[in-house]
Structure 1
Amino acid sequence: MSARSKARKRALDMLYAADLRGVPAIEVLDQEAVRARTQPEREASWAYGREIVLGVIERSGEIDETIASHARGWTLERMPATDRAILRIAVWEILFNDEVPDSVAIAEAVESATVLSTDDSAGFINGVLGAVAASR
């Protein structure tokens, strides 16, 4: 698994934890920063994971609006928490990180959904992200 893939997983864990606990993502990020300082072997995934979470926090309104406008028939509240976190990461990468090709952001998101979410999530996430990428 590449360092960026590990970082996406780390960001997913943080966003998911914040969502489930009902706390601001910055609080979970701060806790993870303390953990990162004591585990230097995980440093490669920390920098980009932190960048993702900060980007999602900074652009949360735009990201959630984009997801909602492309997720036909689904509200954010109705989606599984895992899917919300996966979509937020991928939409941030598609819209706000020019270093990541859209196809890579989508493929990584679909892979995460395949492994971590429901049987229908990968197809749903692929459709939403494909529509987001096409509308840029």
Structure 2
Amino acid sequence: MTRSEAREQAFILVFEKSFNQQDSLDTIIENAQAGRDLNVDKFSYRLAEAVYGHLEAVDALIDKYSTKWKLERIVKVSLAILRMSISEMLYMEEVPVSVSINEAVEIAKKYATEDDASFCNGVLGAVAKDLEKIKEELSQE
């Protein structure tokens, strides 16, 4: 499985979990494996786990950088993409920020609209611009 495919798989897991918030990530994966014979990639699992291991901090960043949009009003597809990409930028040092943003925009183009892709690109670009400061602030908490 390529990294792009693994990212897409992680996006789907994060998206599914947004509808089943009480279920653990492992339960979401078990249901996906049973329902559609899914074999979860290690990278996909790490990325989805990073999202839900740091959801409060990631959502606070989305809320801060998505000007004029409250978290509750963001389309679930875009929200899942933003959560995944910001988590990747913050907690997966081996992935270049530009790759994370580009992959997120491509997923948005595939699963959402051009407007959603532009919205995600704008939010992620703003986060990337302040990334070092954000990492410093998070490390002090």
Instruction: State TM-score, norm by structure 2.
Output: 0.82
Output the CA distance in 2 between the equivalents of 1:134 and 1:119: 22
Aligned residues: 128
Q: Deviations over 1:32-77 (max 9, x none)?
A: 4x55xx66xx5xx611110011111111111111111000011121
Aligned to 1:8: 7
Q: 2:89 maps to what in 1?
A: 94
- Partner residue of 1:122? 117
In structure 2, what residue type is equivalent to 1:4? R
Please give the root-mean-square deviation of Cα atoms over the aligned residues, in Å: 1.8
Which residue does 1:28 correspond to in 2?
A: 28
Task: Give the letter for the 2:48 counterpart.
Answer: V
Cα gap change, 1:25 to 1:91, in 2 (>3 Å)? farther
The one-character-per-residue Cα deviations of 1:103-130 (angstroms, maximum 9, x if unpaired) are 0000000111111112311111000000
Within 2, Cα distance between the matches of 1:128 and 1:19? Answer: 20
What displacement does 1:15 show?
1.2
Structure 2: give runs of 5+ residues left out of the alignment: 132-141
CA, structure 1 residues 3+56, in 2 after alignment: closer, same or farther (shift >3 Å)? same
The separation in 1 between residues aligned to 2:90 and 2:17, in whole angstroms, is 22
TM-score normalised to structure 1 length:
0.85
Task: Tell me which moved more, 18-27 or 119-128.
Answer: 18-27
Displaced runs of 4+ in structure 1, greater than 6 A?
none
